Structures are given as C-alpha cells and as structure tokens.
Structure 1
Amino acid sequence: MSEPRIAFKAGRAFRREGTNWVDPSATKGAILLQNGDDGLLHFIWKNRGSNNVEEDLILFPGDASFVKVSQSAWGRTYVLKFSSSDQRHFFWMQDADSSRDLEFVENVNRLLADPENVPIWAGPSVGQSNTQVTPAAGPSSVPAAEPPSSQPAAGSSGGHQPTAEELAQLQQIISSMGGGAGAATSAPDFLLQDILTPANLQPLFRTHPELVAALFPHLPPDLPVEPSAEVLEQIVASPQFRSAVRSFDVALSTGALQGFVRALGLPEEAGNGFEAFLRAIQEQANSEQESGAGAGERMDTD
C-alpha cells in the first residue's frame, strides 16, 4: 500500500450485545486512510501497541460517512456507517487535544465522497499536545442510535448540566497531568474513590429510593432505561465509573478545577482541592436543607 493520506489517533468502541449502547475499548489505536494496491481506498484501524492492522475496510466512493455520535455526552465518539448496508463501526478520539477533531473528520469525509480529493490541512495549532488519553479520562458508554430529537429527556433537571466542551476541557486537564513532576502536592488522607465505592453506594439506593430520582437527572439524559436502583448499581460498579472517579481525584488533588466546578453549581474555590470540594458539597446540602425547612415552616403558618 501507499503512504497513508490521513492518520490520527483513535480507539474502537463496540456495541453491547442486545442494546443500542457502545462501550469504548482502552486499546491505543489509529485510523488510517490510504490507497491500496487494488486501487481502492482502505479505511484501516491499527493497534498502536502491537502495530498490527486489525481492521481493513474497502470503501467505495459515496458509500460511507464518518459522523459524530450526537448522543455521546463526551462528544468525541464517531461512527463509520454505510449507505449500502447496516454496518456500523464505532471509534473514539484518543488525542488529548480535540482542536483538530473537526479537521480530521472533514478530511475523512472528503476522501469517502471522492478518493481523488486532496485533504486540506490547516496545520497543528501552537502548543498542540500529542498526548493520547485513555478511558480513565476518556468516554463512558454511549448510545449507538441517533437521538429522536434535540429536546432534553423527560425528568431531566432544569439546572445547568456540563456541556461536551466542558467535559472535554476537564479530560484535557486531567490527561495533561500525567507524569507532571512540578505539580506534586501532599496526598489527602482519603479520596473520592475510597468513598464512592459500590459497597458504600449500592445500599443507599435501596434504603433511600429518593436518591434514584435525584441522581438520574445528572446522568446522560439519553439513558435508554427507566430510573431504578438496579441501573444505578450497575453504573457505580462499572469500570467506566471507577475510572472517572480516579480521574476526578487526580484533578482535585492539583486544584485544576476552579472553572469546571461552576458547571456543577459550586463556587469556584471548590476546585482548589479535595477538602474544599467536600466542604462546598456539604455547605450546598446544608443550604438546601435549611431552604426546605423554611418552606415547610411557611406552609405550616399559612
């Protein structure tokens, strides 16, 4: 084969059997588009660990498109789909810097439409990182189907939910910390991953059923299931949840989340460290309890 015409870091994701969900694979990979010896365009996925080609798809002009999975809360999951069949191949971007995602996708689709087209490159931005990310700071499972509408799911809260861009920003902050020597701080006595364990959380869903309704609005609004204790138990026991908690611990320990915590309804100083975050959570809970008690007293005196 000739030299790749397009190449960028991307992992694969696989549809969960019997569902419309896809789960990301942690394997480091790359997507390559190149002309084969047969004169046709090949869409290749290569394992960057073993350097082996594990997927080689022959593409005919105008038959395929590479599009974003719009239901992905993380925002960097894509699907290669075909007009001539029901084939779907899912991928997630693995470069820590998302600034060139659109450029890669547009060039992929340019070649898919006509292999004679020439990719158009704007060039990497100044300071662009080439660090790959892993599911510890990467996407969680996402629905594979296209959403029926852009309206929020029924039962979702009216409060601010972190956007895909904010989540991507958090991911980039976390991934850029790996191996950083100058940011070392004293480790707290305990971490979120010591608290938010399945053993601690799962009994709460049974003894306090009101938590189910309270927590579901803060999950991706397109979960294809009804709110239930069983679903939450599966979520908190999943590797994706544990990885997300570990990643959040890392970010909190460096004080890198002052801006992001605003999306959670907390003061900016809550992102200065683990203790500040827990203190802000406690103060928010106390405030809500006092507000609720006050409302109850007013109702009693009416």
Structure 2
Amino acid sequence: MTDPRIAFKAGRCFRRENTNFVDADPTKGAIVLQNGEDGLLHFTWKDRSTNNVVEDLILFPGEATLVKVDQSAWGRTYVLKFSSSNQRHFFWMQDADSSRDAEFVSNVNRLLTDPQMVPIWSAPGASTEPHASQSVPGMPGVQATPEQLAQMQQILASFAAQGGAQQPEISLVDILTPANLTPLFSSHPELVQALFPYLPPDLPTPPNEDTLRQIISSPQFRGAVRNFDQALRTGLLGGLVRGLGLPEEAGTGVEAFLRAIQDQARQEGSQDGGDRMDTD
C-alpha cells in the first residue's frame, strides 16, 4: 500500500439478524483510504489495537458513497452504500470530538468520486487542486544528516517553547512552513539534491533552491502535509515512519513523531564525538 490519503477513527456496526437495527462494535478502529500498489483505491478498516487490516474493499470511482444514517438515535452512524448492489457496511465515529464528522465524510466521498483529489480540510492552507505527488508527505528513503536533524530539532524546540502547555495541539502544518523550511535549503544545499528524486517528475531541472521554495509554498504541498498530519493522528503509520529511519512508535501520533525526530537528532549528534557544532 502507498501512503494513506485519509484516515480517521471509526468502529464497525453490525445489523441484527432479520431486523433493520445495527449495533456498534466497541473495538477501536480506523477507516483508511489509500491508493494501492495495484493503482486502485482501497477502503480499509483497521483494528487500532492490533494494527491489522480487517476489511479491504477495492472501490472504483463512483461505485460507493459514505452517508449518514438518519435513523440512528445516536447520530454518528454512517453506512458505505454501493451503487451496483445492496451491499452495506456500517461504521460509527470514535473520535471524541464530533465536530469534524461531516468533514471526514465529505473527504471520503470526494476520494470515492475521484481517487486523485486532495482532501479539503477546514484549516488554512488546504488544497482543492489535484494531488501533485503521492511521495511528498513521507519522502521514504530520505536519510537526513545530523546537521539537518539538529536544525529541525531547533525548529521544534522553538515551536514548543512558543506553544506552551496552554496552546492548541501541535500540528505539522504549523511547523513545516516556508518560513521554517527555507533556511534549511540555504544552510544545507545538499538537501536540495536529496529531496528532488521524491518530488513530481515534471519539475524543471537541474534542481535548485527556488524550485523547492515554490513547492513548499504551494497549496498541493500544504494539503499533503495536512494529510500526513491527519494520518499520524490515527496512530497507524508505524510502518511508514520506519522508512524515515524512525522507530515504529513515531507513527502513533504527531507528538510521538516529533519526539522521535528530536531523539534521532540527539543520537546522531552524540555519535559525531561531540566535535561538531551548529553554527546557524
């Protein structure tokens, strides 16, 4: 499977035999939509306690929709309906905050209509344009140098100091901004060459700093970062972060991901023998 396009907490519901009633299963789960290696859209349901995929539905554009069950007394039950059959899959929202239910469902239906569309999130910086590259959010295979990790650590530490305990939950969108990333390209020119193989193939060559600046300022990049941020919040990206040289625990949440980057920077710095210093 490729990187998730959208993921959110949801459990399954099952219809009572010979009735129109459905009962919620308490198992903690998540709905994940992602484009598979077969080039098709996969609608999967994962058990969050085991991280195992329990259901994997391959869907073609326009084949299914996720709609709210109006008859549900609780109000947070949804059904995946198919246009070509009477097949039904019922789910219930498990996030404690119900304010984003409609947003998640809307994005699911956008992808069910066109798997190449970028989900639209309510926060600033989201994109309504087609996804430019599936490889941008995770950039698997990129091995950061100790200097790059240390500088990212400084950025994260500065952000944490500004945020404090009373600030809203940390978001990657607030960290991976042009203001924070641009100095990395200037102070570490080798980063430009390292990132270019993971960017869209139709970019101008040879790679240069100006091109990367345009990318990180684009709606597509901001949308990709937000997608990755949302996927991290499901706690299901343990396998993906291993490709970044991070422990599997780093995929269990945004804060865990950021802490893992900081720990990696400290470890790399100690392995240098203490004779290397940041001069930025």
Q: Would you say same fold, with TM above 0.5?
A: no
Q: Relative CO higher for 1 or 2, CA cutoff 8 Å, sep ≥ 6?
A: 2
TM-score, reference length from structure 1: 0.41
What TM-score, normalized to structure 2? 0.44
- Work out which of the two has the higher radius of gyration on C-alpha atoms and give 1 or 2: 1
